[in-house]
């Protein structure tokens, strides 16, 4: 299996139907009617919001340190089998706080799984839910500071349209002052202007998705010249109707433009594929040869926050 880095995966989006049902039983939580549909049928979504509605509706099954540990452990085992050597994993603490789960429970469970992972070098990235607004994000960052050593950066996720990156200027400034890495979802639902803002206002070091940057040639030039990483999630984009089909995905055009793109899974339990499945899908659809796949894998390491020494070792 080709070694690679997974830089765009939401740990909550790795909650497979089997574990979902087990955790619901363990905690006496009633699942939403649609929650287990994936056991017999593929989840179907009309867009980002229809997916997020189910994603959040399933999260109340996560209650204890053990639950968060089991979720992350299961992901890391699956990731290792996909050839993942390095994983920089998003998590959404605001969603768990809203469900009454204390922050220390979330950190304890996820950190334990990360620390015991021998096969995959893993780090956590704390995401702010953009639809909860800037003040909530600032409160979240303040509350997370006692756990500063347990996460390597901050990100921005959830409903994108109507919540531009510029709203989060101050919280990203504070995160930078704490020495945290900064990434942001932009250019999935939102247009190229959101990618510009993520770079110029938030100082994002990496753009998650970013596929709509292709609509702006000046932006494409900047992304290429500055080698700004874009973490692209092909199966997610198809599942959420961000692109009409895999055949219509801009990945080949992004490679053609010389952008630093890599391929990732986003919410694999919901979108039908982990890192290896996303690689296989683009290989099949676009007839990518070994050199092109090796470039995508190399790009994933070049885009990660590990040391140069570790990156070279994994490649």
- Active-site annotation, residues: 188
The residue with its CB nearest to Zn ion is 266
In angstroms, the Cα distances linking 240 to 50, 180, 224, 233 are 8, 30, 27, 11
Q: Are 300 and 107 a contacting pair, CB within 8 Å?
A: no
Q: Smallest distance, Å, CB 7 to ligand ADE?
A: 13
Q: Counting contacts by CB under 6 A, is residue 157 touching ligand ADE?
A: yes
Query: Longest Cα pair distance anywhere in the chain, in angstroms?
Result: 53
CA distance 125 to 132: 18
- The answer to whether 188 contacts ligand ADE (rule: CB under 6 A) is yes
- Positions in 216-275 near ligand ADE (CB under 6 A): 236, 266-267
Instruction: Count Cα neighbours of 302 within 13 Å in the Cβ-side half-sphere.
Output: 15
CA–CA distance, 130 with 107 (Å, rounded to integer): 21
Binder of Zn ion out of 6, 92, 266, 276 (CB under 5 A): 266
Q: For residues 4 and 185, which CB has a smaller minimum distance to ligand ADE in the complex? A: 185
Closer CB to Zn ion, residue 65 or residue 236? Answer: 236
3-22 binders of Zn ion (CB under 5 A): none
Binds ligand ADE by CB under 6 A, chosen from 9, 20, 48, 141: 48
- Nearest-approach distance from CB 75 to ligand ADE, in angstroms: 14
Distances (CA, A) of 10 to 16, 147, 150: 12, 19, 16
CB of 158 to ligand ADE, least distance (A): 5
Among 14, 58, 117, 158, indicate the residue that binds ligand ADE (CB under 6 A). 158
Figure out which of the listed residues 185, 212, 249, 311 binds ligand ADE, where binding follows CB under 6 A.
185
- Residue 188 binds which of ligand ADE, Zn ion, none (CB < 5-8 A, kind-dependent): ligand ADE
Q: What are phi and psi of 52, to 5 degrees?
A: -60, -35
Instruction: CB nearer to ligand ADE: give 111 or 158.
Output: 158
- Among the residues of the chain, which ranges form H helices? 17-27, 48-58, 65-81, 93-98, 103-116, 134-144, 169-177, 192-200, 217-225, 234-239, 251-256, 268-271, 275-286, 290-302, 308-314
The CB-of-258 to ligand ADE minimum distance in angstroms stands at 25
Region 8-27 residues binding ligand ADE, contact defined as CB under 6 A:
10, 13
Q: Is the dihedral of CA 181, 311, 83, 4 positive or negative?
A: positive
Residue 6 found at the interface with ligand ADE (CB under 6 A)? no
Q: Which positions lie near ligand ADE, rule CB under 6 A?
A: 10, 13, 48, 55, 157-158, 185, 188, 236, 266-267
């Amino acid at each position: 299996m080709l070694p690679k880095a997974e830089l765009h995966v939401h740990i909550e989006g790795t909650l497979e139907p089997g574990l979902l049902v087990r955790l619901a039983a363990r905690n006496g939580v009633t699942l939403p009617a649609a929650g287990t549909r994936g056991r017999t049928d593929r989840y179907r979504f009309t867009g980002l919001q229809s997916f997020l509605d189910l994603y959040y509706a399933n999260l109340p099954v996560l209650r204890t340190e053990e639950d968060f540990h089991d979720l992350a452990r299961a992901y890391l085992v699956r990731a290792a089998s996909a050839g993942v050597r390095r994983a920089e994993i998003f998590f959404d603490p605001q969603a768990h706080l809203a469900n009454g789960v204390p922050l220390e429970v979330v950190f304890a469970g996820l950190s334990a799984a990360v620390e015991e992972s021998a096969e995959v070098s893993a780090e956590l990235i704390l995401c702010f839910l953009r639809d909860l607004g800037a003040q909530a994000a600032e409160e979240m960052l303040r509350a997370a500071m006692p756990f500063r050593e347990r996460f390597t950066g901050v990100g921005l996720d959830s409903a994108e349209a109507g919540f531009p990156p510029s709203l989060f200027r101050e919280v990203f400034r504070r995160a930078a002052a704490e020495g945290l890495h900064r990434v942001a979802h932009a250019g999935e639902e939102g247009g190229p202007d959101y990618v510009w803002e993520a770079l110029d206002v938030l100082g994002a070091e990496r753009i998650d998705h970013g596929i709509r940057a292709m609509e702006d040639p000046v932006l494409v030039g900047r992304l290429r010249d500055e080698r700004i990483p874009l973490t692209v999630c092909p199966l997610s984009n198809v599942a959420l109707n961000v692109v009409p089909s895999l055949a219509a995905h801009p990945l080949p055009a992004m490679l053609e433009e010389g952008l630093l793109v890599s391929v990732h899974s986003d919410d694999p339990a919901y979108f039908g594929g982990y890192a290896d499945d996303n690689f296989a899908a683009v290989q099949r659809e676009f007839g990518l040869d070994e050199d092109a796949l090796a470039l995508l894998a190399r790009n994933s390491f070049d885009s990660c926050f590990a040391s140069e020494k570790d990156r070279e070792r994994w490649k």
